[in-house]
Amino acid sequence: MAAITLKGLKKSYGTAHVIKGVDIDIDDGEFVVFVGPSGCGKSTLLRMIAGLEDITSGELTISGRVVNDLPPKDRGVAMVFQSYAIFPHMTVRENVAFGLTIAGASKAEKEEKVGEAARILQMEHLLDRRPSQLSGGQRQRVAIGRAIVRKPQVFLFDEPLSNLDAALRMDMRLEIGKLHQQLGATMIYVTHDQVEAMTLADKIVVLKDGLVQQIGSPMELYHNPANLFVAGFLGSPSMNFLDVDVKGVNGQKILVSNAALDPVEITAKTTGYTVGGKAKLGVRPQYLTPVESGGMLHGSVALTERLGAETVVELTMKDGNRLIAALARDAVFPIGAELGLTFDPAQTHIFAL
C-alpha cells in the first residue's frame, strides 16, 4: 500500500538549509495537507517526495521502499502543478493520455481510460480542445485528469488552486475532496490557504522555516495549537494574542491580567509559568462576546466590518493593542464607542514566553 514516511528529511542549497529535518508518517489513502507561509519549504518538501529535488539527507519511503535516489517516474506518483503544466501544443485528449502514450499503451486502452477520467472530472466536452481555448479552472481539470489517468497510488498537489478566482477555487476544492473519496489514493496537498487545509485534510502538517510546527487533524490543530505560530496561522480572522502578566500559579491554573484585562484564571497545558512573568493569551475572535456592562476586556471600537451573517469589530484596547472580535450576527457599533467583551476562559490558549 502507498504509505509514505519521511525520516529526518533535510535539504540544503549550499549553506542555505531549506528543510531542516522533517519527520512525517502518512498512512495509505490519507489526505495530508502541508500548510505554511511562503518560503516555509512546503513546496520543496513536496518536490522532494516527487523526486524533482534531491534529498540532502534523511530517508523517504513510499510503500515501504526507500525511494531517495529513484527518478520521479519510478516512485509511482502523479503531480498537479500550480501553473497546470499542461502541454500547450496537445489537445486535452492528448494531454490526459500523455502518461499512457509514454508507456506505449494501445489506442483502445487510452480511449477508455481518458474517457473514464473525463467522466470523473466532467470534461468530456473539452477533450478535443487545445489548452489555449480553456479557462483556468478547465486547465486545472485537465492537469488533474492527466494525473488520475494512470491510477497512481500517490497524488501530489502543489498549490493547485492558487491561480483560480475565489468562487472557482471553492468549486475545485470540493471536487478534489470528492476525488479523494472516489479514488481512495494517498494525497499530499500543498497550500498556503488555511481554508483549503482545514476543509480537505485528514491530517495537516504546519511548516515554518523548514521545520514541522505541528501535525494533527484540522480540529486538533484548531483547538489545541502546539505553539503561538500554529495558533496564529489557523483560523480566520486570526487569533488575538494578549500580552499578559502572570499574577498567580496554582498547578495548571494560571491567573493572568493586563491593563485591559481583568484578572482571569486559565488552565494551561504546559508548565513553566512563574509569578511576575510574561505570557501570551490567545483568544479566537469568534469566542469574544460583547456585553452591555462589565466584561473582562475593555476597549473602544476602531472599525467594524459588516458581512451580513458576521460582524468583525476591531477594538483599540486600553493598553493600546488591537483586538478583533467576530460576532455571528449583524450588529452596529458606532466608532469610538466603549465596548466590554467577555469570553470563556476554557476556550483560550496560554503560551509561556
Partner 1 sequence: MASKFTRSNGTGWLMAGPAAFLIFCFVILPFIAAIGLSFTNQRLVSPNPTEFTGLANYSQLLGMGMLHLDPVKDDAGNLVLDDAGQPKLPELRSFTRHNKDYPGIDGMRELFSFASGEGRTYVLARDVVFMKAILNTFIFVIVVAPLQGGLALCLALLINQRLRGINVFRAIYFMPVVVSIVVVSLLWRFIYDGQSGLLNNLLGALSFGTLPRIDWLGNASTALGAIIAMSVWQAVGFHMVIWLSGLQTISPTLYEAAAIEGASKWQTFRYITWPGLRNTAVLVLVVITMQAFGLFSQIDVMTKGGPLDSTQTIVFQAIQRGYGKQDISGGSAISVILFVIVLSVSLIQRWLTREKV
Question: Among 75-83, 115-123, 304-312, 318-326, which window interacts with partner 1 (CB under 8 A)?
Answer: 75-83
Residue from 25, 54, 83, 135 in contact with partner 1 (CB under 8 A): 83
Nearer to partner 1, 131 or 218 (CB): 131
Nearer to partner 1, 190 or 212 (CB): 190
> What is the rounded distance in angstroms from the CA atom of residue 150 to the CA atom of residue 348?
47
Among positions 27-56, residues that touch partner 1 (CB under 8 A) are 50-52
77 belongs to the binding site for partner 1 (CB under 8 A): yes
Nearer to partner 1, 76 or 345 (CB): 76
Residue from 57, 101, 274, 347 in contact with partner 1 (CB under 8 A): 101
Q: Phi, psi (5° rounding) for residue 293?
A: -140, 155
What does the angle CA 176 – CA 181 – CA 184 come to, to the nearest 5 degrees? 110
Residue from 8, 37, 64, 85 in contact with partner 1 (CB under 8 A): 85
> What is the rounded distance in angstroms from the CA atom of residue 3 to the CA atom of residue 153?
9
- The answer to whether the CB of 161 falls within 8 A of the CB of 191 is yes
Mask: binding to partner 1, 139-158, rule CB under 8 A, as x and -? -------x---x--------
Count the residues of the shown chain that bind partner 1, applying the rule CB under 8 A. 24
109 belongs to the binding site for partner 1 (CB under 8 A): no
79 belongs to the binding site for partner 1 (CB under 8 A): yes
Residue 26, beta-bridge partner list: 4
290 belongs to the binding site for partner 1 (CB under 8 A): no
Order of strands across the sheet that contains 4-13:
16-26, 4-13, 57-62, 65-66
> What is the rounded distance in angstroms from the CA atom of residue 77 to the CA atom of residue 186?
10
Residue 94 parent element (H or E): helix 92-96
One-letter amino acid of 71: P
Nearer to partner 1, 41 or 51 (CB): 51
Residue 174 parent element (H or E): helix 166-183
What does the angle CA 269 – CA 275 – CA 277 come to, to the nearest 5 degrees? 80
> What is the rounded distance in angstroms from the CA atom of residue 283 to the CA atom of residue 261?
12
107 belongs to the binding site for partner 1 (CB under 8 A): no
201 belongs to the binding site for partner 1 (CB under 8 A): no
Q: Tell me the three state secondary structure of residue 224.
A: coil
Q: Which residues of 232-257 are buried (b: 16+ CB within 10 A; e: fewer)?
A: ebbbeeebbbbbbbbbebeeeebbbb
65 belongs to the binding site for partner 1 (CB under 8 A): no
Distance of closest approach, residue 26 Cβ to partner 1, in angstroms: 18
Nearer to partner 1, 105 or 170 (CB): 105
Nearer to partner 1, 75 or 208 (CB): 75
Nearer to partner 1, 140 or 213 (CB): 140
14 belongs to the binding site for partner 1 (CB under 8 A): no
350 belongs to the binding site for partner 1 (CB under 8 A): no
183 belongs to the binding site for partner 1 (CB under 8 A): no
Cell of 81: 502543478
Residue from 2, 19, 44, 99 in contact with partner 1 (CB under 8 A): 99
Distance of closest approach, residue 157 Cβ to partner 1, in angstroms: 12
Q: Tell me the three state secondary structure of residue 77.
A: strand
Cell of 161: 488552486
Residues that bind partner 1 (CB under 8 A): 50-52, 71-73, 77-79, 81, 83, 85-90, 98-99, 101-103, 146, 150
